[in-house]
Amino acid sequence: MTALLSVKDLTISFPVGRVNLFTGHRRAIHAVQDVSFDIASGETLALVGESGCGKTTAGRAIAGLYKAPKGAISFRGQDILDLPRASRRTVRRAIQMIFQDPFSSLDPRMTVSEILSDPLKVNGIGNAQEIRERVQDLIGQVGLPADTLNRHPHEFSGGQRQRIAIARALAPEPQIVVADEPLSALDVSVQSQVLNLLGALKRQRGLSYLFISHDLAAVHHIADRVAVMYLGRLVEIAGRDALFAAPRHPYTQGLLAAVPRIGHRRRRRSLIEGDLPGPLAIPSGCGFHPRCPLAKDICRRERPELKSHAGDRAHLAACHFAGEAL
């Protein structure tokens, strides 16, 4: 399957503190390190992991909101990081983003009509009449009434605001949507509605999603493949069914074991001990080894490669003991 979007060795760091007078350098937080994955046309790839693992930073870099000093992001075979400024608008139109908090991502001074019209005007899509018609159609597609257009964001519930944010992302007719925790700020009763809306829009428009989430139940519902991040690196990537049925990395096994299950009287034993290390104190070798019950000396010395195991080329794991049950 040909990749619509290809990410290769993406690395993003943020300098912190003061410049060292002796070395002339500043310390850096390595938010994303050597991350590689593909997204095919019409595919949903879920990017999961604990808060602070770097998944949002990776998503924002793909959407063009962060500059990546190392690595490549290719859209339809063209490296978008090296594009001249004049050519970036076309790619940015094709890759849109839905943010986690719909209230802070919408301008409170603008009406919904203005919010949805802006992306069309910026990208030169249609005349005034065509823009009005397209905006009305967008509101209908996300399940909101026509009188929504003349109101402001503060007049809506969280779920309605997220529908407006989804409509704004769809306005320039993107091919890929980066959905950054689009459910986490919503009530549980509304989450399923928005999740079903995203699925319906994907089928209707042939969209591809990078679905960033820590909600594994939502991921199981919407994803085709799942990539698991830990401390800025991918530790496992596989098809949804394969990963949920037989996770090969201890971290993934721990995440799945931590998912609450209604109707189970006995709570399963937690497989992940301790806290996530600080971003300035990344462990040597395998970054997960301080919390891993399978860790041995090799885990402390050598960082495992993300590779296939047991002959399944589509299921990759970065673990010296991949597949061993905990």
pLDDT at 326: 59
Q: Which two tokens stand for residue 180?
A: 């950054």
Pick from 228, 209, 224: which is nearest to 98 by CA?
209
pLDDT at 259: 82
pLDDT at 1: 60
Q: How far apart are CA 295 and CA 320, in angstroms?
A: 9
DSSP 67: -
Burial 148-168 (b: 16+ CB within 10 A, else e): bbeeebeebeebbbbbbbbbb
Q: What is the pLDDT along the chain (326 residues), one digit of tens a residue?
A: 679 999 999 999 888 877 777 776 778 888 999 999 999 999 999 999 998 899 999 999 999 888 888 899 999 988 888 777 777 777 888 999 999 988 888 999 999 999 999 999 988 898 999 999 999 999 999 999 989 999 999 999 999 999 999 999 999 999 999 999 999 888 888 999 999 999 999 999 999 999 999 999 999 999 999 999 999 999 999 999 999 999 999 999 999 988 877 665 555 555 677 777 877 788 999 999 999 988 999 999 999 999 998 778 899 999 999 877 65
| Type of residue at 129 | Q
The CATH class given to the 3-104+175-183+208-317 domain equals alpha beta
pLDDT at 188: 86
Query: pTM of the prediction?
Result: 0.92
pLDDT at 187: 86
Q: How far apart are CA 132 and CA 45, in angstroms?
A: 33
Determine contact, residues 51/232, Cβ cutoff 8 Å.
no
Determine contact, residues 222/42, Cβ cutoff 8 Å.
no
Q: How far apart are CA 135 and CA 111, in angstroms?
A: 12
How many CA atoms lie less than 13 Å away from 42 in the CB half-sphere?
A: 6
